[in-house]
Structure 1
Amino acid sequence: MNELTIRTIAGIAMIGITLAVAWVGGMPFALLVAAAATAVYWEWSRIVTGWNIGWKIGGFFYCLIPAIALLWIRDRYAQGFDLLLWVFIVTWATDIGGYAFGKTMGRTKLAPAISPNKTWEGLIGGMVAAGLLGGLWAWTQGLDPLLYWLGAPMAVAAQAGDLFESGMKRRAGVKDSGTLLPGHGGVFDRLDGLLVVATAIGLAVYMGWL
């Protein structure tokens, strides 16, 4: 099988498992989140080998806080599963929309020194996809109206998380954070945007803004 086929099959499988466990919630979801956070931190630690200890400490909290946020969203919000899916939809739409628009219309480099393949057109495409799909999901599920408009800004947040990880990898001289996921690289590579979006929405729930 070619790389695109492997990537597609692995992506569908990961989405299916994630949604099934998120639906169940409780301990199964907590274990999945803990496993993902541990994997990200392990990959983070490999990337920052030889850097100062602040990177190891900072990485611990960079992985811990989004994990807590995801659990808080699922278990402490009245429509926890629906809001959790909103977070997933926005993050995935950012990736898919960004890839599609970037491949077909990408001309203007977004951050060539960090990630040469990222374009402004891709970012705009990701914002459009996240805004439309996130808004549609929030509306159909009766979520807080603020979420009708938060998709696009969260797409920017997700892209920032992606660029942050890309900057780390460029400094370390590595292409992927790991090899655990067939066709996708490492767990950190797949969750870099979700870490930021989950933190932002978890904070909004904690503060009572949603």
Structure 2
Amino acid sequence: MSTGKWDDLAPRLFSAVAMVGIGALGVWLGGLWFHALISLCVGLMVWELVKMLDTARSKSALVLAVASGAAAMLAIELPPSFALPLLLIPSMLGLGRMEQGGVTYAVFTALIMLAGYGLMALRDDFGLTWMVWLLLIVVVTDIAGYFAGRMIGGPKLWPRVSPKKTWSGTVAGWVGATGVALLFAKSTQAGFGLIGVSIAVSMASQIGDIAESAIKRRSGVKDSSNLIPGHGGLLDRFDGMLGAAIFIVIAGQLIGFPPGSQ
């Protein structure tokens, strides 16, 4: 059997262990530590986004990254009515600084800011259990998709944008999310309705992944950056979390949160 398709497994695993360790510590500590970690990630993802969309704007990338991280850190400390306009300031600032890709920047930055705010609010308002649930859904979706896609293969999901993603890997992600849902349904008051919510969160994470792939394809780059060996950049690693977090912010208003609470 050819080992070429597994060549990136070692650096991916090493980087994943480091990321899981840092992320787990931040999630466990919560509060200001978690806010600082998420705000740092938000700033770095905006920096990567600007560098992908407009390579000539290195100085602007740094300015917008700092502004985004600072806005995220401040927004979570304010009442939601004041936090919302603050979360959109980085998008507005970037419109005047981008020579190309301004609309894509503004929309995707707004999504990054909203996702970051949603993650901080989820940890603050609902505690460790539901933060771990969300993280497990995204991680299991990614891992199941990675291995099923390479072991089973088959038809591609959207080859023009993401040539490595297969339907087998996509469905495997949903199956993995179902397993996580069953675990939490038995250990919380959510009930088995959590299965549908978890599969939808898995789908949202996959959509976030594909959306970032579309931006990379348009920009002609393989990775959002080279910050993380074997994984590319933060956007490459957390694009699924962005989709999942945004979905929770929206769906939580429709079905109540935690799942089964209404």
TM-score where L is the length of structure 1 = 0.92
Alpha-carbon contact 2:155-2:167 (below 8 Å) kept: yes
Give the C-alpha shift of residue 207 in structure 1.
Answer: 5.7
Q: Report 1:1-210 matches (<5 A).
A: 3-49=8-54, 50-77=99-126, 80-140=127-187, 142-145=188-191, 146-205=193-252, 209-210=256-257
Give the C-alpha shift of residue 57 in structure 1.
Answer: 1.9
Q: Which piece of structure 1 moves more, 182-191 or 142-151? A: 142-151
Alpha-carbon contact 2:177-2:199 (below 8 Å) kept: yes
Which one has more relative contact order, counting CA pairs under 8 Å at least 6 apart?
1
State the identity as a percent.
33
Q: Which has the larger radius of gyration?
A: 2
Q: Which piece of structure 1 moves more, 194-203 or 177-186? A: 194-203
Aligned equivalents of 1:14, 1:97: Cα separation in 2:
18
Give the C-alpha shift of residue 203 in structure 1.
Answer: 3.3
| Letter matched to residue 70 of structure 1 | L
Alpha-carbon contact 2:27-2:128 (below 8 Å) kept: yes
Aligned equivalents of 1:201, 1:105: Cα separation in 2:
30
Give the C-alpha shift of residue 139 in structure 1.
Answer: 2.6
| Letter matched to residue 245 of structure 2 | A
1:149-175, CA deviations, whole angstroms, 9 ceiling, x for partnerless residues? 322222111111111111110111000
* Aligned-partner SS, 1:192: helix
Give the C-alpha shift of residue 144 in structure 1.
Answer: 2.3
**Length, aligned pairs only:** 206
Alpha-carbon contact 1:69-1:203 (below 8 Å) kept: no
Give the C-alpha shift of residue 147 in structure 1.
Answer: 2.4
| Letter matched to residue 33 of structure 1 | I
| Letter matched to residue 9 of structure 2 | L
Aligned equivalents of 1:7, 1:26: Cα separation in 2:
29
Aligned equivalents of 1:52, 1:106: Cα separation in 2:
34
Give the C-alpha shift of residue 47 in structure 1.
Answer: 1.4
- Give the alignment's Cα RMSD to 1 decimal: 1.6
Give the C-alpha shift of residue 138 in structure 1.
Answer: 4.1
* Aligned-partner SS, 2:231: coil
* Aligned-partner SS, 2:164: strand
Distance 1:43 1:143, change over 3 A: farther
TM-score where L is the length of structure 2 = 0.74
Alpha-carbon contact 1:139-1:148 (below 8 Å) kept: no
Distance 1:143 1:186, change over 3 A: farther
Give the C-alpha shift of residue 5 in structure 1.
Answer: 1.8
Alpha-carbon contact 2:145-2:169 (below 8 Å) kept: yes
Aligned equivalents of 2:130, 2:176: Cα separation in 1:
17
Alpha-carbon contact 2:209-2:239 (below 8 Å) kept: yes
Alpha-carbon contact 2:35-2:120 (below 8 Å) kept: yes
Distance 1:137 1:41, change over 3 A: same
Give the C-alpha shift of residue 109 in structure 1.
Answer: 0.9
Give the C-alpha shift of residue 59 in structure 1.
Answer: 2.7
Name structure 2 gaps, 5 residues minimum: 1-6, 55-98, 258-262
